[in-house]
Structure 1
Amino acid sequence: MEKNQQKQEFLAETSEMKNTKNNDDCSVQQQQRFVWPWVGLVANIPTEVEPSGRRVGKSGSTLRDEFTMKGFNPTRVQPIWDFKGHSGFALVEFAKDFEGFESAMNFERSFNLDRHGKRDWEKGHRLRDNKLYGWVAREDDYNRSDTVGKNVKKKRDLKSISQIVEEDERKMVHLVENMSQTIEKKKQSKQELEQKVDETSRFLESLELHNVLLNKNYQEGFQKMQMKMEELYQQVLDGHEKSLAELEAKREKLDERARLIEQRAIINEEEMEKSRLEREMNQKAMCEQNEANEEAMKLAEKHQASSSLKEKEKLHKRIMEMEAKLNETQELELEIEKLKGTTNVMKHMVGSDGDKDIVEKIAKTQIQLDAQETALHEKMMTLARKERATNDEYQDVLKEMIQVWNANEELMKQEKIRVKRMGQLNPAPFLPAVMKKHKVTQSKAENKAMKLCSVWEANIGDVQWTPFRVDESDGTPKRVVDENDEKLRTLKNQYGEEVYNEVVRTKLEIEEHNASGSYVILELWNYEENRKATMEEATDVMLKIRSKLAAMKNKRKRLEV
């Protein structure tokens, strides 16, 4: 803006010069060609001859300070040297803009007023004193063939005021056009950005509503499922308690019956053993009866033959003995019949209706228990299907939320809930470990570290490699590092503790979050508490980011108004 104002003031001054009496001189001055960038010449600089024969004079910085004190504001003063040394001339450089031109013209006017300008130098007035002579370099200075002219030509050109003005106008027009195009592109980019922000805001609003509805449905479904599970468990528990009570009562009855039957069986065995002994005795008695009968027949025959009284008495005594044995045998047979009756009664009791009812009730109870177990299994399968469907929907929402996080990474980077790549190996500790071990240059160490990191990424992704064991020493099973694992032990010995800890951390992360796949997965992670973020925490952060986007949008609208 200041440059444009200076140029406009300069053009105004030149237009006023055209309306004055010196109209012709002003026109000539506008057509004059100056050396550009603006440069002045200083002549008659005092020099001295050193013993070596080389001329020396004032330095450029000293002359620059002197001219600055006078208000000419030169950017640099450069003495001109030739083969003899200091030539007594110096170039005074000014700024390229019109403010620099004004300073150059003031520089020239100052020397002209002191009668130490270019004309005075050319007329020979320099012979009168040792003061400096100065003027602004023009076409004749530019075309000089001496050392002064060569130094004036370096990186400079001849231009008139009108040419410089026209060139500045062209540059200004080009700059305005470029600025206009840039502004249009910025406007277009701004509109596209606003459109993206609006789309993101609408998406976040819909996602927020979807999350609210999903969370509500999940909570309601979870509560209903819990209520149904509690009712079902209560029904099953009640049924089991009732069945157990019935079975316990029946078991007690059956135990009582078993004890009675066992007692009766013991008695029955004793009776059967007694009956067996009686039958054997009866059989023995019958054999003895037969023998006695035979013996009696023999005695009768003998009695008839001998007709002896003594023999008759012996025979009578023998008959009396045999009759006594016969009575005893009859009593044994009566006892056997009684035992048979008792045995039939016992058989009748064992086959009674009471035992059949108990058996039927037990069978019926078992059927009811089987039916309840079948119904419970079907309900559990239904709940499992619902849980899988809910989990699938949850995973879809989680993927969408991760996409939103990645799309708004700049807004999310200060939040405690951010996306984490689970199971990704950090290459940072590998480079210093490689440099410490191999003592190589930075570039070679970087290549070795990159290769080493790639090798361990492949090892971590190998599902067959499991360098952990389960420790249950404190009663709780937990996964710990297997100290006998050859790979980890070699890595720790060769590259140190930090690389070893990073590999163990990454492998453990893979085992815990994606053991079946063994590849890197994305998770929403609570970096403040170092755990997996909950759906409620992620939703709160998304609501916060949506508020920021809405505030940014409202601020832009206010600025546009």
Structure 2
Amino acid sequence: MDHSSAEESDISDSDIVEYKEMTCARLRAGKMKVKYGEKTFRCPFCPGKKKQDYNLKDLLQHATGMGAAPKREAKVKATHLGLAMYLEKDLASSLGKPLEIVAYKPKIPKNEEEKFVWPWMGIVVNLPSELKFEEFSRESEDRLRAQFSRFRPLQVTILANVKDQTLCAIIKFAKHWSGFNDASSFEKHFKVEKYGKVDWSKRNCRKDDLYGWLARFDDYNSPGPIGEHLRNNGVLRSVGDLEREGLQETDRRVSCYARQIEETNKQMRELELKNNQNAMKLERMMEEKDRLVEEHNKKILKMQNAACQSSRKIIGENLRLHEELENRRKEIERRCKQLEDLATKSNIDGAKLEAAKEKNAKENGLLNLATQKQKEADKELLQLVQKQKEETDAALKKLTDLEMQLASKHKLELEIEQLRGKLEVMKHMGAEEDTKLKELDKLRETLEEKDAEMEDIDSLNQTLIIKERRTNDELEDAKKELISGLQKMSGARSVIGVKRMGELDQKAFLAACKEKTAKDDGKKLALLCSKWDGEIKQPGWHPFKIINVDGQAKEIIQEDDEKLQALKAELGEKAHDVVVKALLEMNEYNPSGRYPLPELWNFNDDQKASMGEVAAYLVKQWKTHKKKRTYA
């Protein structure tokens, strides 16, 4: 077989799939031999093993097991996975029989329906008579347990039969299958030595040694201390029952684990979806940022081009003006020279010549001054252009820095979201990435600091609530004292006093009733007043209905109430309004107790008086009385 240098080198875990396909292709091409007979096969990748020949199913089992072994090298796993693929897809299809990896099933004993005592218990009889003393019972049980220690008993209990003065022991084993194996070995030990239950039942059995067996149905139902102990400490079960219970428990656990795996997969899919959504949002943000940056750059370039064109135009105009000034100056110098020549030749009047020279000199000075101003303007223009260029470069640099900061911020936000997603995934998958977890720990510490601040705020809020409750209690006590004092000192003309809320205003009610009844019928008026005062206090009469006002429930008087309609028809609307007012006060202040409650009241404004108003009124009254006593 030919092997290239690339194939001989080690591969990584990420290359297993590719190398598996390559190995399967080489096996299909016949470059490696697997089949050595009609039903004989060999693994081409394990030539040094003792077992060389396999049948097809065993070779598939070998290849699958080697491919799934976690401690094997990547190349070994890849080659054996390729062999398993070749056996399943090519050789199995050619033979026409599908290959299956046989799952392990525990062997069930033949006597699976035979009833045993569970938890598994063994019986030992014919114990020495010296073990019957009570003071040695604990020591005897420990000694007997040590004697059968190779069968791993959990507990040994010595029993005494009062009738025949014999001793026996019950040996308890573990509940699971290993306990059943220990109990079976215990019984087999006595059977081999001819000291089993059958041997004990014989009449000519030897009475000088121990007999033992595994407790069964007949022992459980037998009379005497053995049967009583077995019935009190165990139940009858068959191996088949326990096997079925074990399978049911296994199925229940498998279904539970399957549900947990499904929930975990669902959570992972949700996290992956959320991560993809965040990635898409970030990608759209980056695209939008790139578009804005591109538009901004185009505007900047357009402004730069316009500024350059304007600068070139201004500089060209300045150069043209400078050239014109220079030509004018040269023309004036030429004329001065001509005048000098003419003065020399024609003896012109000196005064006129001097005047012309002064005029030309003045014009020349003005031209020089204009030239100087033009140079200064050119210099300022160049400085302005340079300053504009520097400001443009600074703005571009600042824009670039801002773009870099924005990109860093978006990148950091993406990393935070990815790390949070990975943290959630790692919580379910059990993975550990120390470096990124440190960053997440910092974020978690920040969140914990915020939680601590929130706890402090909650604690302060609780303290303020407690203080508010204490203040309210103190105000309530002060209010009670004010009510008590005002009830004693208030008169008929008091501005501030105490009003009993929910009590019928007898004065107003009587005045309303006199309009509908005889004024001199005082007894009838008193009875009417007492009647309606009692009706207001009746718990069963609740003439209110609930309406919705601005999203809040509010109780109002039910105008179609029979009693109120009868009251309005009999005594008039004013009497009806007095009763309705008392009902509203009762419903507001004491709807459950249905008796009047005292309240501080401003009789001038006909409204509830505040503590400040009451205090100011009392101080004013005190000062008034003090002045009266002083004058007296």
- TM-score band (shorter)? 0.3 to 0.5
TM-score between both structures, scaled by the size of structure 2: 0.34
Q: Which structure's relative contact order is higher, taking Cα pairs within 8 Å and 6+ residues apart?
A: 1
